[in-house]
Amino acid sequence: MARVSYRSADINLMARMMRAEAEGEGRLGMLYVGNVIVNRLAANCIDFKNLRTVSQVIYQVQGGNFSFEAVQKGNVFYQRARGVEKRLAKQNLDYWRQHPAKFALWYFNPHAPCPPTWYGQPASGQFKNHCYYEPKPDTCASVYRG
């Protein structure tokens, strides 16, 4: 059973986002970004309430800007997703979760060492240039299920 409901168009959109955000970090880096996308869709808490589709997660606006830098800058569509990214996206949607992004709802590239917290949420780890942050259990317990 898939972690979240999705359509084939969601695989393509998510794959494009994963490529735009983390292509330079290889397949594993793209999978970690995919974890965050799926976690936001599954969490239904804090900033991510009532998100029901991959498209809603990717195009979510917070504080007047798109949540993901690739959408803000427009490079989410810089190239279409290749087969490898589509397979990775499907893995994320179906079952794949791994530390440090296993429960992460946020990531960013600080161009420096990872801060221990980000907007009050604890760091779960780092992979290459991206720092990952998961919510405190009392803030969003739903992300820790499933």
Residue spans of the domains in the chain: they are: 8-103
Q: Find out whether 29 and 122 touch, Cβ atoms under 8 Å.
A: no
Residue 109 pLDDT: 95
Global pTM?
Answer: 0.95
| CATH class of residue range 8-103 | mainly alpha
The pLDDT tens digits along the chain (146 residues) read 899 999 999 999 999 999 999 999 999 999 999 999 999 999 999 999 999 999 999 999 999 999 999 998 887 767 789 999 999 999 999 999 999 999 999 999 999 999 999 999 999 999 999 999 999 999 999 999 86
Distance separating alpha carbons of residues 70 and 56, to the nearest angstrom:
15
